[in-house]
Amino acid sequence: MWLGSNIPDLMLGVVVAGIAANGGREILREASETARRNASA
């Protein structure tokens, strides 16, 4: 089966990277909105 294969590790790595990228994108979006609000205030 997959014993000794790198495929499970690669799949898990892709999932974790996707979650991290999504979180980073959310943080940047919120920071951008906050910066716009503070600039117009």
Q: What is the CA radius of gyration of the chain?
A: 18
State the pLDDT at residue 2: 62
Q: Are 34 and 41 in contact (CB under 8 A)?
A: no
Cα distance from N-terminal residue to C-terminal residue, the chain: 61
More confident residue, 2 or 36: 36
DSSP 5-39: -SHHHHHHHHHHHHHHHHHHHHHHHHHHHHHHHHH
Please compute the mean of the pLDDT values over residues 3-9 and round it to a whole number: 85
Residue range 12-41, pLDDT digits in tens? 999 999 999 999 999 999 999 999 999 986
Does residue 1 register a pLDDT over 80?
Answer: no
